[in-house]
Chains A and B, each alone.
Chain A
Amino acid sequence: MDNTTLVAIVSIVVAGITTAIGVLAPGLGQGKAISSALNSIAQQPDAEQTITRTLFVGLAMLESLAIYCFVISMILIFANPFWNHFIK
């Protein structure tokens, strides 16, 4: 097994693991955020606008964590720097 094959195997496996863990954790966090936002809207429907705005900002910040993992797995698959190093 030469270096190129090794890099390819490690890149693909790590990209899969990155996506799996990177989707799992922000998903749990977002579920928790949405459930508590729904609870507070049910308790205080008057404050719905403020809660929704804050919820959206918070969800986007949580989602950016998943997006970081997505970017890293994209780099590993489509623009791997180590791969280019060994091919040359």
Chain B
Amino acid sequence: MKTTPDQNIFWQNGFFVLNSTIVWTWVIMLVLVVLSILVTRKLKTDIRISRWQCILEMIVTGINKQIKEIGLKQSEKYIGFLGTLFLFIAMANLSIIFPFYEPPTSSLSTTTALAICVFIAVPFYGIIESGLVGYLRSYVKPTFIMLPFNIISEISRTLALAVRLFGNIMSGGVILSILLSIAPFIFPIIMSALGLLTGMVQAYIFSILATVYIAAAVSETNKTKRKHQILKNDHYG
């Protein structure tokens, strides 16, 4: 049985192999980028705006609001990364309604790449917010004994992010193919409707968890900065 779209090869020339994971990732990227460029080419601040601009404004405001609710007050700094993650995963999961489409998120390599992006983004934003030393200090909190556990949790949550998304989307595909072989009439439709719901929820979960991790790194460093400032003020005052 085929469990991953990596094995489905479109085109091969010597060393280069183009499997359907790569092809569908490129298609989704192309659709998202071209659509955004076309819509944002003529933005208006009129009372009457085009309906596409209205849709994009709703999406951007909604994502901003969600990020703010979790605790990142300057959500404009983070929406570039988190919003892209959400839109890409949601688009990849919801496109299963098209025939001949295989979601690239049902391949472990795609989800691992996304999880590694989160793994790099967390220290990146933490260091931007408070410098290298301030961020590294957050690893030895509350005591020095917690250092190995903090590092282990950093790695294990990246693994969990990747396997969670991969497992959910892949299980949808596997259940669909098993059902097609035993009850091919109506049940596959119900299961793919459930797959749409699961895909949306998983996209939401992935971006929410990335937001929570970034918020933890940023607020941790903010706290140390504030404490130092208070200490300094006590010293001088």
Contacts and interface: CB of A to CB of B under 8 A. Distances in A.
Chain A binding surface SS class = helix
Interface stretch (B13-21, B78-86, B159-167): B159-167
B202 A60 contact: yes
Given A56-B201, A64-B160, A78-B1, A70 B208 contact: no
Contact of A64 (B164, B170, B174): B164
A43 B30 CA distance: 48
Contacts of B166: 71
B155 to A, nearest CB: 16
Interface string A23-49: 000000000000000000000000000
Interface of A: 56-57, 60-61, 63-64, 67-68, 70-71, 74, 78-79
B164 A70 contact: no
Interface in B197-215: 201-202, 204-205, 208-209
B168 interface: yes
B36 interface: no
Contacts of A71: 163, 166-167, 170
